[in-house]
Homo-oligomer: A and B are copies of this chain.
Amino acid sequence: MIRTMTEFDFIRRIAARFAALPANGFEGIGDDCAVLPVDDGEALLFTSDLLTEGVHFLRAATSARELGRKSLAVNLSDVAAMGGRPVATLLSLSLPTDAAGDWAEEFMQGYYESSERFGVALVGGDTTRSESGIVIDVTAIGRADAARIKRRSDARAGDTVFVAGELGASGAGLRDILAGRYDTPLAAVHRNPQPQVAEGLWLGAKPEVHAMMDLSDGLASDIRHILERSHCGAVLDTERIPCAAGADTRLAACGGEDYKLLLTADSAHAERLATDFLKEFGEPLYPVGYITAGSELVWHENGRPVEPHWQGFLHF
């Protein structure tokens, strides 16, 4: 979900405060998922994502079925981002009266399709009436080999920074939707995010992959989480950002909800990793820069430092 600075700040303060409580075996706030080691080297992963009507979607601009698929997809993307396999979800729905009948049935149809596609069980949740808009909250549970979990905190100086797909299509689609053009191919991309579950599992199994997360707020914003948690800097090349058809560099760097994986990998193995990934998935890993021992995010354009005018967040 695209966040504002205020939200980041609020979450940061909550995390700092609740750190005083017993962890009960969990690695908590700071990564795409919370981690709980269980048995025989396995761990469980937990993540929640809210979708609120009027903020994350307009009922007129998306079908209930698409939204059902998306509600699951954005959570599975968080599990994939740590190299985990999603296994189950809990779904909470707050529905106004005019969405309680057909709309809810179609939403569940989409949710079922995504659950089936990714082999995920629905194990709980809650349903209530809403006096205002639709609110959807999904908690996803994943499993992973504890030794192979990818975190935001494991980037190392010298690592190559990759994105696992073209960027900006979702942001361009959102731009279309906000302009009232719901029927464009880009708008359809925005409404139908594809979580990189197989890709995340594959990358999770590679020891040369160090840090990983999914791109929900945009590369220019999300990379900062890796840098902050890994105590390092990065040089990223604007001209190497892979722009999806219909998107420009600004949208590719700052548009949210692409749900492609962002990762850093040992540069000695980076080329081989990218080749193997292409062989496996038919799409390359795109190198966009490298991790530095500093603490700054530096953008380069054709080898020279620049200060892109789109630094920070993109607001429509």
A94 CA to B134 CA, complexed, in Å: 11
For residues 210 through 268 of chain A, which have their beta carbon under 8 Å from a beta carbon of chain B? none
A139 CA to B92 CA, complexed, in Å: 10
With A34-B90, A90-B34, A119-B22 given, is the CB distance from A48 to B129 under 8 Å?
no
Residue A29 lies at the interface, judged by CB distance under 8 Å to chain B: yes
For residues 112 through 128 of chain A, which have their beta carbon under 8 Å from a beta carbon of chain B? 112, 115-116, 119-128
The quantity of this chain's copies bound in the complex is 2
Residue A302 lies at the interface, judged by CB distance under 8 Å to chain B: no
For residues 40 through 69 of chain A, which have their beta carbon under 8 Å from a beta carbon of chain B? 40, 44, 46-50, 52-56
In the assembled complex, how far is the CB of residue A30 from the closest CB belonging to chain B, in whole angstroms?
9
With A6-B100, A14-B122, A121-B28 given, is the CB distance from A128 to B1 under 8 Å?
yes
Query: Which B residues lie within 8 Å of A27 (CB)?
Result: 123
Residue A157 lies at the interface, judged by CB distance under 8 Å to chain B: no
Residue A18 lies at the interface, judged by CB distance under 8 Å to chain B: yes
A280-313: CB near B (< 8 Å → 1, else 0) gives 0000000000000000000000000000000000
In the assembled complex, how far is the CB of residue A259 from the closest CB belonging to chain B, in whole angstroms?
15
In the assembled complex, how far is the CB of residue A129 from the closest CB belonging to chain B, in whole angstroms?
5
Residue A7 lies at the interface, judged by CB distance under 8 Å to chain B: yes
A24 CA to B122 CA, complexed, in Å: 10
Residue A153 lies at the interface, judged by CB distance under 8 Å to chain B: no
B48 pairs with A128, CB closer than 8 A: no
Residue A25 lies at the interface, judged by CB distance under 8 Å to chain B: yes
For residues 82 through 116 of chain A, which have their beta carbon under 8 Å from a beta carbon of chain B? 87-88, 90-94, 100, 104, 108, 112, 115-116
Closest B-chain residue to A24, C-beta based? Answer: B87
Residue A194 lies at the interface, judged by CB distance under 8 Å to chain B: no
Query: Which B residues lie within 8 Å of A46 (CB)?
Result: 88, 90, 123-124, 139, 141
B7 pairs with A123, CB closer than 8 A: no
Cβ 8 A contact of A7, one of B3, B29, B115, B128: B128
Residue A165 lies at the interface, judged by CB distance under 8 Å to chain B: no
Residue A11 lies at the interface, judged by CB distance under 8 Å to chain B: yes
A104 CA to B13 CA, complexed, in Å: 12
Residue A272 lies at the interface, judged by CB distance under 8 Å to chain B: no
Q: Kindly list the 7 A-B residue pairs having the minimum CB-CB distance in the complex, ordered from nearest.
A: A39-B39, A132-B132, A54-B131, A34-B123, A137-B137, A28-B123, A24-B87
| A interface residues with partner B (beta carbon < 8 Å) | 1, 3-4, 6-7, 10-11, 14, 17-18, 21-29, 33-34, 36, 38-40, 44, 46-50, 52-56, 87-88, 90-94, 100, 104, 108, 112, 115-116, 119-133, 135, 137, 139, 141
Identify 10 residue pairs between A and B in the complex whose beta-carbon atoms are under 8 Å apart, listed by A's number. A10-B100, A18-B112, A25-B87, A28-B123, A48-B137, A52-B128, A56-B128, A130-B132, A135-B137, A137-B137
Not counting A48-B92, A54-B131, a sample of 8 additional A-B residue pairs whose C-beta atoms are within 8 angstroms of each other reads A24-B119, A28-B124, A34-B123, A34-B124, A47-B90, A50-B92, A50-B126, A50-B137
